[in-house]
Chain A
Amino acid sequence: MESGVDNTPLSSQAEGNNIQTPSQMVAAFEREHPEWVSSTVTAYGEITVIVPREHIAEACTFLKTWPEGRFDFLADLCGADRGVEEEPRFEVNYHLFSTTKHHRIRLKVLLNEDDPHVPTVTGVWRTANWHERETYDLFGVIFDGHPDLRRILLPEDWQGHALRKDFPLRGYEPYSLK
């Protein structure tokens, strides 16, 4: 293999220690850093770890090099609005992937409407830059420490955040460039 990247699945690599399945891996992660894990949900064959927002950057840094996980690839980062009435209202999802072990995990941060701040992970993966800009643009989530937090899809003078549930589908008024 030219790349030197190992393609063997998780089960054959994990010989020598007792971690065999993704759920055991998450349990090991929780044992190691219990303060980083608020709760874990397993549904539809996917694991979601809810992380307190102040620990998200540390947790990502750890998972990136952790020998059991090796989540070196940030596949996706996206926001979601749980509804105007909900509290916490916003969530930010981090979809991590391992290019060597080929498993996935989802980290989730929950944010209140009046304080939608979360530390940036651009220091962990540079690909987070545009994902975080998009989430800021469409949801108004502010990523503290982001080097270039500008709108990316909508114009700079756009009012509001378009993917919030209380933003009307057709906007407030016809938009013009003036």
Chain B
Amino acid sequence: MSTAANIPPQFEIVDRPLDTQMTISMGPQHPSTHGVLRLELVLDGEMVIKATPDIGYLHTGMEKLFEYKKYQQGIVITDRMDYLNPLGNNLAYVMAAEKLLALEIPERAQTIRVLMCELQRIASHLVWLGTHALDIGAMTVFFYCFREREKILNIIEAASGGRLTPSYFRIGGLMMDLPSGFERRVNQFLEKFPKSLDEFHTLLSGNKIFQKRTQGVGRISAEDAIDWGLSGPCLRGSGVNLDIRRANPYSSYEQYDFEVPTEPDGDVWSRYMVRMREMRESHKIVQQALSRLKPGPVKADAPKVVLPDREAMKKHMDALIHHFLIVTEGFDVPAGEVYFPIEASKGELGVYMKSDGGPKPSRVHFRGPSFVNLSALPQMSEGEMVADIVAVIGSLDIVLGEIDR
């Protein structure tokens, strides 16, 4: 007892039972949070009692920036939101502006938009598949997915000059027509892709470990999914047959023949299967779009909005004047407000655009599907194990660039 008296009180060993609950911070540097997401987890042993997502680490004030840029300058900002699906963002933004301007888009431009968006959807799903499998512990899939994605990025680069930030769609049409030999390149990809998809199925779908890690994990019912505003594959994974391409068709999607895959269980496995089946449907849509490609203009007939051709500028003075005015002053967009939703690779991507009549928008708001899908994470993860949180986040397919904007 004489020695114990000399120990300062803060070093005294206290014999008390461990607290059963523990709060830990997962992220923002955690590799499986897909960016800079922090989760505040309250744990009981290994079970999650409460999960609170903390976002905003990637906030760059893009919605503020739109208000200071002309309409055509805003397109490049949209590339940087959901950087796995930049063409989808371009499409939603330019179609909102086109709705305000009441522009008629030529058929060839619409077909190319569909073609590029579906290729981009496959590329986005491939990144999801690779990283999701990597999070769960299957490393091989990642390499195969990125090999296939590289082919799509090369196709996008051939058309637009950019791999990750294409800005290919412009208000009134496209930046330029497809390069020569484009169809051959797409066909080369389309021929090989179904075989690669079968490979992914061989690697994962029949894998007992993958099944155990995903089936019955992170369940959400159809009613809850609608209440939480889930959209895209997350909603269809809960058995709700809803696809904006079908419900509110845009860019002539109503003329394409494709299925909307749904799975009934609402768990990680269902969301996995929905996306795997969606890639086949996108493959089908790209094939149809290729067969529908007919020669024609790719820009709307609106000289005050659409930049003129270089050749025309050399020969016609009015083309030169229009080019000068569009670049220096921009074009006025009629006052009003629109909400334009599209089916992006992650769900409903809605653009709310408000114009007060000038060359710059008064307000642009992006309803990012990742933002809304992530807000439902507590609903799906409470009561699960810590390791399953990683599987649930992977199945939501979030991109923090879009969440924080």
Binding site for B on A (CB under 8 A): 1-5, 7, 43-46, 48, 72-76, 78, 80-83, 93, 95, 97, 99, 102, 104, 106, 125-127, 129-131, 138, 151-155, 162-163, 167, 169
- Quick one: given A76-B367, A152-B56, are A104 and B339 in contact (CB under 8 Å)? yes
CA distance A4 to B375 in the complex (A): 26
Is A130 within 8 A of B362, CB to CB? Answer: no
CA distance A152 to B58 in the complex (A): 12
Kindly identify which residue among B241, B248, B338, B354 contacts A3, using a CB–CB cutoff of 8 Å. B241
Is B56 within 8 A of A95, CB to CB? Answer: no
CA distance A125 to B375 in the complex (A): 12
Is A2 within 8 A of B354, CB to CB? Answer: no
Kindly identify which residue among A1, A4, A104, A127 contacts B227, using a CB–CB cutoff of 8 Å. A127
Is A95 within 8 A of B339, CB to CB? Answer: yes
Q: Is the interface of B mostly helix, strand, loop or mixed?
A: mixed
CA distance A153 to B402 in the complex (A): 12
Closest beta carbon of chain B to A136's beta carbon, Å: 13
Kindly identify which residue among A95, A138, A151 contacts B350, using a CB–CB cutoff of 8 Å. A95
Who on chain B is nearest to A77 by CB? Answer: B367
Is B240 within 8 A of A154, CB to CB? Answer: no
Is B242 within 8 A of A5, CB to CB? Answer: yes
Is B339 within 8 A of A106, CB to CB? Answer: yes
CA distance A145 to B372 in the complex (A): 21
Closest 3 CB pairs of A and B: A127-B229, A76-B367, A102-B247
Is B264 within 8 A of A153, CB to CB? Answer: no
Contact count band on B: 35 or more
B338 to chain A: which residues have CB within 8 Å? 44, 46
- Quick one: given A95-B352, A130-B375, are A74 and B229 in contact (CB under 8 Å)? yes
- Quick one: given A80-B363, A104-B248, are A1 and B241 in contact (CB under 8 Å)? yes
Known: A4-B239, A97-B341. 7 other contacts (CB 8 A): A44-B338, A76-B365, A83-B356, A99-B242, A152-B56, A153-B59, A169-B61
CA distance A165 to B337 in the complex (A): 17
Closest beta carbon of chain B to A9's beta carbon, Å: 9
A46 to chain B: which residues have CB within 8 Å? 337-339
B293 to chain A: which residues have CB within 8 Å? none
Closest beta carbon of chain A to B261's beta carbon, Å: 10
CA distance A3 to B339 in the complex (A): 27
B242 to chain A: which residues have CB within 8 Å? 5, 99
Who on chain B is nearest to A171 by CB? Answer: B61
Is A3 within 8 A of B64, CB to CB? Answer: no
Closest beta carbon of chain A to B260's beta carbon, Å: 9
- Quick one: given A126-B228, A155-B56, are A75 and B348 in contact (CB under 8 Å)? yes
CA distance A80 to B338 in the complex (A): 13
- Quick one: given A2-B239, A3-B222, A76-B339, are A127 and B55 in contact (CB under 8 Å)? no
Is A162 within 8 A of B64, CB to CB? Answer: yes
For residue B336, CB closer than 8 A to chain A, the reply is yes
9 contacting pairs across A/B (C-beta < 8 A)? A2-B264, A4-B239, A5-B240, A72-B226, A75-B350, A80-B362, A125-B228, A130-B371, A138-B63
- Quick one: given A3-B222, A72-B226, A76-B352, are A43 and B375 in contact (CB under 8 Å)? no
Is A44 within 8 A of B100, CB to CB? Answer: yes
Is A99 within 8 A of B240, CB to CB? Answer: yes
B371 to chain A: which residues have CB within 8 Å? 130
CA distance A152 to B403 in the complex (A): 11
B100 to chain A: which residues have CB within 8 Å? 44
- Quick one: given A80-B354, A154-B56, A162-B61, are A2 and B229 in contact (CB under 8 Å)? no
Closest beta carbon of chain A to B380's beta carbon, Å: 13
